[in-house]
Amino acid sequence: MSDLIEHAGIDPYRLVAAAHEIAHALGFAAAGVLVTEIKVRGRGESVSGYVFVPGNTVVHDLRAFAMAHLAGRAADLRWCDEHGLARLPERTCAPDSKDLKQFMRDAQHTQTLGSVRRDAERFVHANWSRITRLAPRLATRGQLSPASLPVPVAA
């Protein structure tokens, strides 16, 4: 588990979920979308989390909004790789993928999912220090105020 010793006592599944949710929140912030809640709950393999974006949100940057949906998966894969953890199955992100596909259909978004996925990976890379700094806090507390998020770096 590489350097997880610094996170001793924190459930590693909660850390992965926290990195995932922080990446979403930073991505939405970069897209100019208001986030009102960031939460992680549960333990072990049953951990879950969410970032709440109010309904009727007006999206001006469709590509950035799409990228924010995939940033969570990019972050949890990187967290697992860097900390020697087994990658979580793709199905753990099924709601994100479903929401993104519906959004892209509704918005008649023409970008391929692969190109948006690469944008998400670049975004996570550019914001990795922010994600790794905030993940233990979210994992421990279970919630994080969106006001405490740093300004994300564009990829």
What single letter denotes the amino acid at residue 58? V
Domain boundaries, given as residue ranges, for the chain: 2-148
Query: What is the rounded distance in angstroms from the CA atom of residue 136 to the CA atom of residue 18?
Result: 7
Ranges of beta strands (E only) in the chain are 37-41, 48-52, 143-144
Give the model's pLDDT for residue 20.
Answer: 95
Positions of the chain with pLDDT under 50: 1-2, 5
| Domain boundaries 2-148, corresponding CATH code | 1.20.58
| Residues near 153 by beta carbon (within 8 Å), at least 6 away in sequence | 126, 127, 130
pLDDT digits (tens, 9 = 90+) for 76-107: 999 999 988 888 766 666 667 677 667 767 66
Q: What are phi and psi of 37, to 5 degrees?
A: -145, 145
Query: What is the rounded distance in angstroms from the CA atom of residue 62 to the CA atom of residue 108?
Result: 10
pLDDT digits (tens, 9 = 90+) for 64-84: 888 998 999 999 999 999 988
